[in-house]
Amino acid sequence: MERFTDRRVLITGGGSGIGRATVHRILGEGGQVVAADINADGLAETAKQAAANGNGDRLSTVVINIGDEASVKAGVAQAVENLGGGLDALINAAGILRSAHTHEMPLEDWNRIITTNLTGTFLMIREALPTLLQSNKKVIVNFASTSTFFAHPYMAAYAASKGGIMSMTHALASEYSKEGLRVVAVAPGSISSDMTDGRGPGIPEDADFTLFSKLIPAIGQGFASPDTVAGVVAMLASDDGAFITGTEIRIDGGTHA
């Protein structure tokens, strides 16, 4: 399939995990991609992999701290320039996950999670919209989480940020519907990535792991690979998702079936 031939796509979080997998998926389907991330080394590795796959000529990278307004403004402008002045799809995969007992979470950590995940997604959308709205294939894919539907213990801040993204997705889909913009969200859960592997999210040492029993996938063996999500994102951002907007798709192996 080459569903993204002549499509210009900006993907945040492209330096690792699901964001990187999405970069490779859309490049593999013929897209012209700008991968954005705060981690320059991660972006360099993504570019190296793309070159090895024979897709390096359609990928450029830009360092963006999505939680910083100035960085987003400069980065989106650079991305649009790299894409020849246009943009057809924005995929907001960047985010962070931190865990803690809520009564022990410093305000600084709460604010960092909200700023990166929720405000960062807003900033990327705001800066991309003027160019995106000029496209006749315009779509935004946001990243929510299964934590917006079901309890994920020790992750109140993360859940709040992702719940905000989901609500924002619905509002934007309505607001820009007459301009032909589709806005959709994916809600991954039980996906293996730098964010979730090991004790990556910082689960407290005295955590009650019986509380996580509801987060075990119903199918497969353990957590799924980032490619599992990338395939769904590619569908939503392509013409195959042309009648999908203002909603979200859970990708969790039936964890919450």
Rounded to whole angstroms, how far apart are CA atoms 97 and 37? 15
Residue type, 98: R
Active-site residue, 154 included: no
- The active-site residue, picked from 158, 223, 235, 236, is 158
The type of residue at 221 is Q
Q: Is 84 helix (H, G, I), strand (E, B) or coil?
A: coil
Q: How far apart are the first and last CA of the chain?
A: 30
Question: Could you tell me which of 42, 21, 35 has the C-alpha nearest to residue 226?
Answer: 21
**DSSP one-letter string for 135-176:** -SS-EEEEE--GGGTS--TT-HHHHHHHHHHHHHHHHHHHHT
Reduce the secondary structure of 37-90 to three states and give it as a string.
ECCHHHHHHHHHHHHHCCCHHHEEEEECCCCCHHHHHHHHHHHHHHCCCCCCEE
Q: CA 140, CA 89: separation in Å to the nearest integer?
A: 6
* Distance, CA of 132 to CA of 138 (rounded, Å): 6
Among all residues, which ones are annotated catalytic?
158
